[in-house]
């Protein structure tokens, strides 16, 4: 009987000593739009004389509109060119040529 009383007392003490949790409701952080729209452009090209495999990439972005092109040489010798655009939330729209 004394053991049961000891266990119950220990549980009550542990529950009373538990720190109070922060009960403030969760809210997602507010999205802050950038002050200046994103603008950049870059390009690179490689023509590996040893293996003979050219490849490169060009891309420009002005705000929500991104345009680019990249190319690689396929194993059968053709040069594959991918032209793409992304306009806001429209997704990645690509056109392949070879």
- Residue with the bigger pLDDT between 42 and 9: it is 42
Task: State the chain's mean pLDDT as an integer.
Answer: 84
**Predicted confidence band of residue 65 (pLDDT cuts 50, 70, 90):** very high
Q: Which residues in the chain belong to E strands, given as ranges?
A: 39-48, 53-62, 65-73, 79-87, 93-97
User: 14 pLDDT exceeds 90?
Assistant: no
User: 98 pLDDT exceeds 90?
Assistant: no
Q: How far apart are CA 87 and CA 89, in angstroms?
A: 6
Summarised one tens digit per residue, pLDDT across range 47-56 is 888 877 888 9
User: 28 pLDDT exceeds 80?
Assistant: no
């Amino acid at each position: 009987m004394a053991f049961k009383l000891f266990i119950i007392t220990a549980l009550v003490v542990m529950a009373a000593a538990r720190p109070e949790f922060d009960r403030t409701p969760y809210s997602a952080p507010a999205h802050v739009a950038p002050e200046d729209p994103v603008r950049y452009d870059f390009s690179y090209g490689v023509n590996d004389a040893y293996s003979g495999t050219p490849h490169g990439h060009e891309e420009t972005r002005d705000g929500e509109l991104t345009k680019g092109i990249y190319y690689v040489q396929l194993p059968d010798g053709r040069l594959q060119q991918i032209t793409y655009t992304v306009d806001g939330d429209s997704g990645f729209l690509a056109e392949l040529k070879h």
